[in-house]
Amino acid sequence: MLPTAGVFGIHSHTISLVVELILVFLAIVWLALVYWTFADARRRIDDNVLVGVATVASLVPFVGALVYMIVRPPEYLDDVHERELEIEAAQARLAQLGIHACPHCEYEVERDFLRCPNCMRKLRDPCVGCGKPLQPEWRICPYCETEVGLDPAMVRRSRRTRRESGQTIGGGPTSDLI
């Protein structure tokens, strides 16, 4: 009776067993790399299709996982989210301190600036009545009670009429507002 040849035509049982164990070990490492690629891609990539593509690419033994390690995003999604929250919190703290940034050039501007001194872009519209800066969502000026969007000539006429009739605005005489 002829001895059966093992893996790769090896006739020695000991060497054949060692080669088989090495192959089983490599298969386990390969399957572990496929699972690791899937788990790591889920923590780093927001798109499920790309997670699937990365997992399928890792089915190519060892090379797929190596390519994924080269092209994967450098940060976990949780870290990106945490950094964005920290940036928002820092911006909120700066806004409470009265320090704002120009939305166009990120130059530091104050709350009552109408234009950015750096890029000269318009930040806010002035009130036609008192000239103070207005927030875009306001419908009335909180300083002089002028409705936003009125014609400046109408505002001057209505102020003159109120002054002559002795009406008050905001509880004080109209002469205090001029």
Ordered per-residue pLDDT tens for the chain, 178 residues = 545 666 677 778 888 889 999 999 999 999 999 999 999 999 999 999 999 999 999 999 999 999 999 999 999 999 999 999 999 998 888 778 767 788 889 888 877 788 889 998 888 888 888 888 888 788 888 888 888 775 555 545 555 555 555 554 444 444 444 4
Contact 87, 98 (CB under 8 A): no
Residue 86 in 3-state DSSP?
A: helix
Residue 173 in 3-state DSSP?
A: strand
Q: Fill in the amino acid letter for 147.
A: E
Residue 50 CA to residue 37 CA, distance in Å, equals: 12
- With vertex at residue 110, the alpha carbon angle to CA 108 and CA 116, rounded to the nearest 5 degrees, is 60
Q: Residue with structure tokens 């320090």?
A: 99
Whole-model pTM? 0.51
